[in-house]
Amino acid sequence: MVYHSILFKNADYLSQQEALLTTAPEFFADLNLDPVIETITHGREEYDLKPFFYTVLTDKNTILYRHEIMQDIEKPALLHAIHAFVFNIRLMRQSLTQSNRMYYPYQKERLFLEAVEIYCRCLTALSDHFSEIDLQSQGLLTFYDYLQQYLGSESFTGLSAKTKQLIENLSAIKYAVLIRGDCVSVCYPGPETDYSAEVEQTFQKFRQAAVKDYRIIYPENLDMNHIEAQILEKVAKLYPEIFGEVS
């Protein structure tokens, strides 16, 4: 079996006979279907789903093909796996969008790398979930077969391994920032004592029952200022091989 689409069984029907409508048919207003479709697609505008609802299927096999898939999706485990996949794909797109709008090259590259990592991870997770579910529909079975072949391909395994290695290398980077007045320098970290355990032990005797947490949670802002960017550039000079591989 060759996989074509999760919505269309036959590739010829998909490419030649099926022209998706971009506007609602006239009978939608008569049947008051417009608000129904608006509700279904609300919050999912990025997927441009409305044409699939506007277009009436005329092929019996395609209708049965979709019905079988929907019967599979009624299984809670499968629905959960699909929701998780969609959530992670949205995170991937967010990382790509953030990468495109960033100004500093190293930050753009790190966000792009994060998007690739999410992509590899969520595809692998989807395949793992599918392996534990008794799929019955031809559409999902052929998709699962296609997914397994792709995950086992040299292109994907190479991409996944390389991405994992780059992230591990970046996570292992350690550096020290020295600030003297308006001068900031970056160097390799020297031997430093971790006083956190000693501080906790010292104040342990003053510890009482649970008290109100007065810590302030600051909103996460990915935009770097010019000082942070200069620090990052200096770190890149300390570890040219790692940053060179990312680039």
How confident is the model over 104-117, as pLDDT tens digits? Answer: 999 999 999 999 99
Q: Please tell me whether residues 200 and 233 are part of one structural domain.
A: yes
User: Beta strand 183-187 with 176-180: parallel, antiparallel or unpaired?
Assistant: antiparallel
Find which of 24-38, 124-138, 209-223 is predicted with most confidence, using mean pLDDT.
124-138
Distance CA 243, CA 135 (A): 44
Domain holding 124, by residue range, is 11-19+55-171
Query: Given this model, what pLDDT does residue 119 score?
Result: 97
Token pair of 247 as six digits: 């680039």
- Is the residue at 24 inside a domain? no
Q: Please tell me whether residues 146 and 103 are part of one structural domain.
A: yes
Query: Given this model, what pLDDT does residue 182 score?
Result: 81
Q: Please tell me whether residues 111 and 195 are part of one structural domain.
A: no
Q: Please tell me whether residues 101 and 147 are part of one structural domain.
A: yes
Count: domains in the chain: 2
* 223 pLDDT higher than 50: yes
Q: Please tell me whether residues 108 and 205 are part of one structural domain.
A: no
How confident is the model over 139-167, as pLDDT tens digits? Answer: 999 999 999 999 999 999 999 999 999 99
Helix (H, G, I), strand (E, B) or coil at 185: strand
Q: Please tell me whether residues 167 and 193 are part of one structural domain.
A: no
- Give the global pTM: 0.81
Candidates 132, 155, 156, 154; CA nearest to 144 is 132
Q: Please tell me whether residues 139 and 199 are part of one structural domain.
A: no
Q: Which of 109, 140, 171 is the last residue of a domain?
A: 171
How confident is the model over 51-101, as pLDDT tens digits? Answer: 889 888 888 888 999 999 999 999 999 999 999 999 999 999 999 999 999
- Is the residue at 119 inside a domain? yes
Query: Given this model, what pLDDT does residue 14 score?
Result: 57
Q: Please tell me whether residues 163 and 181 are part of one structural domain.
A: no
Q: Which residues, 6 or more positions from 72, have their beta carbon under 8 angstroms from its beta carbon?
A: 78, 133, 135, 136, 137, 140
Q: Please tell me whether residues 93 and 146 are part of one structural domain.
A: yes
Q: Which of 171, 204, 221 is the last residue of a domain?
A: 171
